[in-house]
Amino acid sequence: MQGPEQPTEMSAVSLRGRDGRTALLAFSSVTTLTTWEAAARPVPVTAADAARSARAEGAAALLLDVAGPVPFAVLSPDLDGLAAGHLLMPARGGYAWVPAAPGVVS
């Protein structure tokens, strides 16, 4: 018989670039997380929550899958659109951030 669950501590990990800006790390899957750090334990969050956490930590970017296979940085103003829960949609000549419909999780 096991005792009560022990409290766990969740932390956000950030990196500082050569230019001094920081990025909060995020991962698209358990595989990309454990490629970066085998002992890491995943905590699922929405993209909007990850972006809001990056902003709350004062980060300039959200860095997705830092260990690959395809690292990707979300910078301002895209980080702000993502943090607001908006969706990136095709628009004339490119893309635009559009507010999500009620009930849609970004």
CA–CA separation, 32 vs 64, rounded Å?
A: 9
Closest to 61 (Cα-Cα) out of 46, 71, 76: 76
Residue type at position 39: A
Residue 6 has pLDDT above 70, yes or no: no
pLDDT band at 76 (very low <50, low <70, confident <90, very high): confident
Cβ contact 66:25 at 8 Å? yes
Percent of the chain with pLDDT over 70: 87
Say which residue, 5 or 63, is predicted with more confidence. Answer: 63
59 — pLDDT class (breaks 50, 70, 90): very high
In the predicted structure, residue 30 carries a pLDDT above the cut 70 = yes
pLDDT the model gives residue 1: 46
pLDDT at 44 over 50: yes
pLDDT of the residue at 41: 87
| Mean of the per-residue pLDDT values of the chain | 88
Amino acid at 76: S
**Residue type, position 34, single letter:** T
Alpha helices in the chain (DSSP H): 30-36, 47-56, 78-83
